[in-house]
């Protein structure tokens, strides 16, 4: 979400299919024009530039980021998902473009906002509030959030969905995917089909604010009695399919913790590591969007505010058990058992093990060495990541070894990898092994 301290950018969201298609057409035309002009300039100076060099110019990077941020919805969400899921294998230039989308969205202009709220609450909707702040405090891919005060003095957070976003999900995702493929910005060995399917499924769920309201209630019950977390309270009477009302929880961006002492960073992030473990092995209810903006930090209380439950989903018992077998084998440092469990669960294609046995075993060895260490895991030290990438890239390039894991696994993996990225941002050092072993024992 965009931080409330960023300068306001009011731009009307294209709500019709023709309007959104026109946005993609203008983007493609702008990229092509940029390639032609940059190519002519370089050829005139005697260079022989490659197409990817022409596409990844600063001007084209701005065009891509600006247009996806303007369209919001699936266009922006897919960029966010690709940057988080595949950031370690993308060209640095593209990874930077997509990462900007995690921090940026434009706001609806007041007239468009008023139209949406009038459709949901009626023309006299302002009478329900003592104050409604027209400038959003946050904006994301599906909607924007406003502060409001009720007549009895309660401070609320009101999330308003962008018009046209829900009905454009499939076409937007397909258009972005086509655009990225046509421009050659994605490496050919990276198959994003699983991400496309996951993006569509998640967006459909996120666009249902009544469903998200139910998830807020379930998560509040899940962390009840745990003082380290805070969850907003749903305001049911103001919630509709396109407007979500909840109590407003004060807090600073979770990244502000990076400026605190090591012990506080470690202790706070340890709570999030345990939350992930309990989501997977205990409640089997997981918030699968680990965007940093979905956590806030209350310095006065020491609590982590949990936000945005549109991506919350149940984890099946089968997937939970598959991960339990994998993790238990890893903690025993039984590398062959890890491989067997990964194949049995459908995470790994048996052909990959047959065709690339050394690379598969090397990758497992790197991961097991990290997770089974008796030392605290230093999330700030990601030296092993490029090693894993270099090890598995030959497997990724081999189409006979390629395999689509269970769709549900993609959501869980996003949460695990995204949480690790937050740990890296905070430079946290946590006894992950001890936390996971305790949760596994308590939920056996």
* Structure tokens belonging to residue 139: 């904006």
3-class SS letters over 34-62: HHHHHHHHHHHCCCCCCHHHHHCCHHHHH
Gap between the Cα atoms of 170 and 384, Å rounded: 36
Phi, psi of 129 (to 5 degrees): -130, 145
| Active-site annotation holds for 390 | no
Angstrom distance (rounded) from CA 311 to CA 204: 10
Question: What whole-number distance in Å separates Cα of residue 177 and Cα of residue 67?
Answer: 14
Whole-angstrom distance, CA of residue 121 vs CA of residue 124? 8
Chain centroid to CA 64: 19
Query: What is the C-alpha to C-alpha distance for residues 323 and 297, in angstroms, rounded to an integer?
Result: 29
Query: In the block, which residue shows the tokens 């994301």?
Result: 140
Going by C-alpha positions, the residue among 303, 299, 392 that lies closest to residue 352 is 392
Q: What are phi and psi of 326, to 5 degrees?
A: -60, -50
Identify the active-site residue in 85, 172, 289, 308.
289
Block residue for tokens 């666009």: 207
* Residues 415 and 290 sit within 8 Å (Cβ to Cβ): yes
Q: Where are the beta strands (DSSP E) in 307-403?
A: 312-314, 377-378
Q: What is the largest CA-CA distance in the chain?
A: 71
What is the pairing mode between strands 303-306 and 229-230? parallel
Query: Residue 159 belongs to what H/E stretch?
Result: strand 155-161
Please name which of 359, 368, 420 lies closest in space to residue 393, comparing C-alpha atoms.
359
Enzyme catalytic residues? 289
């Amino acid at each position: 979400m965009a931080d409330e301290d960023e300068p306001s950018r009011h731009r009307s969201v294209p709500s019709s299919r023709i309007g959104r298609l026109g946005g993609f057409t203008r983007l493609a035309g702008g990229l092509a024009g940029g390639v032609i002009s940059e190519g002519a300039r370089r050829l005139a100076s005697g260079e022989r530039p490659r197409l990817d060099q022409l596409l990844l110019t600063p001007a084209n990077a701005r065009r891509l980021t600006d247009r996806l941020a303007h369209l919001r919805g699936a266009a922006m969400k897919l960029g966010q998902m690709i940057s988080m899921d595949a950031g370690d294998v993308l060209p640095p230039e593209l990874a930077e473009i997509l990462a900007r989308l995690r921090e940026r969205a434009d706001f609806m202009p007041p007239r468009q906002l008023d139209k949406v709220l009038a459709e949901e609450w009626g023309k006299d909707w302002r009478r329900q509030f003592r104050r409604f702040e027209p400038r959003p405090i946050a904006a994301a891919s599906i909607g924007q959030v406003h502060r409001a005060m009720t007549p009895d003095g309660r401070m609320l957070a009101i999330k308003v969905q962008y018009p046209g976003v829900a009905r454009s999900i499939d076409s937007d995702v397909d258009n972005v995917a086509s655009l990225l493929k046509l421009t050659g910005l994605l490496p050919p060995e990276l198959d994003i089909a699983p991400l496309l399917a996951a993006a569509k499924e998640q967006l459909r769920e996120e666009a249902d604010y009544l469903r998200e309201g139910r998830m807020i209630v379930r998560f509040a019950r899940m962390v009840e009695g745990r003082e380290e977390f805070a969850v907003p309270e749903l305001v049911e009477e103001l919630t509709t399919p396109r407007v979500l009302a909840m109590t407003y929880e004060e807090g600073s961006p979770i990244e502000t913790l990076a400026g605190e002492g090591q012990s506080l960073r470690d202790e706070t992030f340890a709570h999030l590591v345990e939350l992930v473990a309990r989501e997977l092995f205990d409640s089997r209810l997981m918030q699968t969007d680990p965007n940093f903006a979905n956590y806030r930090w209350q310095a006065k209380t020491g609590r982590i505010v949990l936000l945005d439950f549109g991506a919350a989903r149940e984890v099946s018992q089968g997937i939970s058990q598959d991960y339990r077998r994998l993790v238990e084998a890893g903690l025993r440092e039984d590398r062959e058992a890890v491989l067997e469990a990964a194949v049995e669960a459908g995470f790994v294609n048996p052909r990959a093990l047959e065709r690339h046995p050394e690379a598969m075993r090397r990758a497992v060895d790197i991961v097991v060495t990290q997770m089974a260490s008796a030392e605290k895991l230093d999330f700030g030290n990601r030296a092993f990541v490029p090693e894993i990438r270099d090890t598995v890239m030959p497997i990724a390039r081999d189409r006979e070894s390629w395999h689509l894991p269970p769709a549900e696994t993609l959501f869980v993996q996003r949460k695990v990898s995204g949480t690790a990225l937050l740990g890296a941002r905070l430079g946290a050092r946590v006894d992950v092994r001890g936390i996971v072993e305790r949760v596994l024992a308590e939920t056996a």
